[in-house]
């Protein structure tokens, strides 16, 4: 959960998860839809799918107990080099060297590594492995993380409080604020698409399931076009029903790791499920919390519902005698 997500954001999710699924076996036995729904809003949804797949693998192959060795951990779904080293060191006390962004910064300054990130990552990993002690490796790893998070910070390191101030090469050279060096970030490309929000007379929203693999894999969404460079030329040809649609004012904006997204939204009201003649499943508006909806889809639905409410309010106001 903490991969690319802050502790403040993760806290409530973690507490809810361990209360609901207190063991690996319990997590493995849960339907993946429940996992995805509980994860909804946390982002980077492949982590949730990998978490469930990992739990099932560990339950089947390791009797519900994680292996302790770094090499074995790396064979599990969703566990890469950093996570494997962190588990091995912190949970089992093995001589392993997890390297996160905080530790990279500490090492780059301690040894004055001038090569730019991400190219410098292999060198920094070797330096971390050379420093990792045989005893209390987990404490050392967490101390390194905390050192980077609280003292050896990105913009304003408080070097006077650092236990390694006399050993820090970057400090001696006056480079502590300029390291680690980073390659210039490329601008995120912009993608566009069209989303269709179909609402039944019973206050239900039409949803469909995304493909199991890929971005937001296996999650629910409103029917929509592909996300491409431009909006579809004839968006209504992609509509999921033969009902009337109204294009809403404004766009829904969302930022993913590698691109920005703009969605135009069309809304349609149908009297019943049958009149919509659509493929998918109908979700009660008041029960959407139980569906695995990514944040961008929640934005789309909220935009549509707010627009529908504004339209109803305007219509009521026009009918009201003054």
pLDDT classification of 189: cutoffs 50, 70, 90: very high
Per-residue pLDDT, averaged over 73-84, amounts to 93
Tell me what pLDDT residue 274 has. 61
Q: Is 194:232 a contact under the CB 8 Å cutoff? A: yes
Count the Cβ atoms, other than its own, within 10 Å of residue 84. Answer: 21
Q: How much is the average pLDDT of 166-190?
A: 92
Contacts of 214 (CB under 8 A, 6+ apart): none
Answering whether pTM is above 0.75, one says no
Please, which pLDDT band fits residue 310 given cuts at 50, 70 and 90? low
pLDDT of 41 strictly over 90: no
The counts of H helices and E strands in the chain are 12, 7
Strands (E), 8-148: none
Q: What are the structural domain ranges in the chain? A: 190-319
Task: Name the DSSP class of 209.
Answer: E
Q: Which helix (H) or strand (E) holds 266?
A: strand 260-270
**What are the angstrom distances between the C-alpha of 84 and each of 68, 77, 97?**
9, 11, 9
pLDDT digits (tens, 9 = 90+) for 220-263: 999 999 999 999 999 999 999 888 999 999 999 999 988 999 99
Number of other residues whose CB lies within 10 A of the CB of residue 133 = 12
> To the nearest 10°, the Cα dihedral for 48, 52, 57, 58?
90
Contact call for residues 94 and 74 (beta carbons, < 8 A): no
Q: In the structure, what pLDDT confidence band is assigned to residue 25 with cuts at 50, 70 and 90? A: very high
Q: 120-129, 280-289, 295-304: which range is least confident on average?
A: 280-289
Pair of tokens at residue 197: 């929000």
Whole-number pLDDT of residue 280: 85
Beta bridge partners of 269: 199
Mean pLDDT of 99-122: 95
CA distance 118 to 120: 5
Q: Across 17-31, 180-194, 201-215, which has the greatest mean pLDDT? A: 17-31
How far are the Cα atoms of 20, 37, 49, 285, 296 from residue 288, in angstroms, in the given order? 19, 10, 20, 6, 14
- 35: preceding bond cis by omega (within 30 degrees): no
Overall fold of domain 190-319: Nucleoside Triphosphate Pyrophosphohydrolase (3.90.79)
């Amino acid at each position: 959960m903490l991969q690319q997500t802050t502790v403040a954001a993760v806290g409530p999710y973690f507490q809810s998860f361990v209360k609901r699924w207190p063991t690996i076996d319990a997590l493995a036995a849960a339907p993946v839809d429940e996992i995805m729904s509980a994860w909804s809003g946390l982002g980077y949804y492949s982590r949730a799918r990998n978490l469930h797949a990992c739990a099932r693998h560990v339950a089947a192959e390791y009797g519900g107990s994680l292996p302790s060795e770094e090499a074995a951990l790396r064979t599990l779904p969703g566990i890469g080099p950093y996570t494997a080293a962190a588990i091995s060191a912190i949970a089992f006390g093995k001589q392993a060297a997890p390297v996160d962004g905080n530790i990279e910064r500490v090492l780059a300054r301690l040894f004055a590594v001038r090569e730019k990130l991400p190219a410098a990552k292999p060198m920094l990993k070797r330096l971390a492995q050379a420093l990792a002690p045989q005893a209390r490796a987990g404490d050392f790893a967490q101390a390194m993380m905390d050192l980077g998070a609280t003292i050896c910070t990105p913009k304003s390191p408080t070097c006077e409080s650092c236990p390694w101030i006399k050993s820090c090469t970057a400090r001696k050279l006056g480079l502590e604020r300029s390291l680690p060096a980073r390659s210039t970030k490329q601008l995120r490309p912009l993608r566009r698409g069209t989303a269709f929000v179909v609402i039944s007379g019973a206050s239900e929203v039409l949803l469909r399931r995304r493909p199991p693999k890929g971005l937001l894999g296996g999650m629910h969404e409103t029917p929509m076009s592909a996300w491409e460079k431009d909006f579809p030329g004839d968006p209504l040809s992609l509509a999921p029903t033969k009902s009337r649609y109204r294009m809403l004012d404004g766009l829904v904006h969302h930022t993913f790791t590698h691109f920005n997204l703009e969605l135009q939204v069309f809304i349609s009201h149908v009297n019943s499920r049958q009149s919509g003649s659509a493929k998918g499943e109908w979700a009660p508006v008041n029960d959407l919390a139980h569906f695995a909806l990514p944040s961008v889809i929640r934005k789309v639905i909220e935009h549509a519902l707010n627009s529908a409410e504004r339209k109803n309010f305007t219509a009521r106001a026009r009918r009201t005698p003054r």
